[in-house]
Structure 1
Amino acid sequence: MFYEEEQATDIIGCPCTLLNPYDGYTDGEVVGDYGYEIVVRLNNGKEVVEYRDEVLIYD
């Protein structure tokens, strides 16, 4: 998987919800920000890469 340079932004560590569930999981935490894509660690421990507009981020 190709990533741009990771950005240090205020959303890292914020709780979030996936608009499209991943294996039934939707809730997680933002652990990486790559501009258009973010890395989300779901409550089951799995990390997934999603487009920013496919995730609701709570701050």
Structure 2
Amino acid sequence: MYYEEEQATEIIGCSCTLLTPYKGYTEGEVVGDYGSEIVVRLNNGKEVVEYRDEVLIYD
């Protein structure tokens, strides 16, 4: 899988909610920002890549 260069942005570490659950999980934390895609570590420990507009990010 190809990623753009990771960006150090203010959303890293923010809590978030997936709009479409991943195996029943929706809550997590942003751990990577690649522009249009972000990496989310879900509460079960799994990391998933989602498009930014498919995730609600909390300050």
Give runs of ≥4 in structure 1 deviating > 3 Å. none
Q: Which runs of 5+ in 1 are unaligned?
A: none
Name the % identity: 88
Could you say what secondary structure the match of 2:40 adopts?
A: strand
Deviations 1:14-36 (A, max 9, x none): 00000000000000000000000
Q: Distance in 1 between matches of 2:2 and 2:13?
A: 22
Residue 16 of structure 1: aligned partner:
16
**Aligned: 1:41 with 2:41:** yes
- C-alpha deviations, 1:3-59, integer Å up to 9, x for none? 000000000000000000000000000000000000000000000000000000000
Tell me the number of residue pairs that the alignment of Structure 1 and Structure 2 aligns.
59
The CA RMSD over aligned residues, in Å, is: 0.2
TM-score by structure 2 length? 1.00
Q: Could you tell me the TM-score, scaled by structure 1's length?
A: 1.00
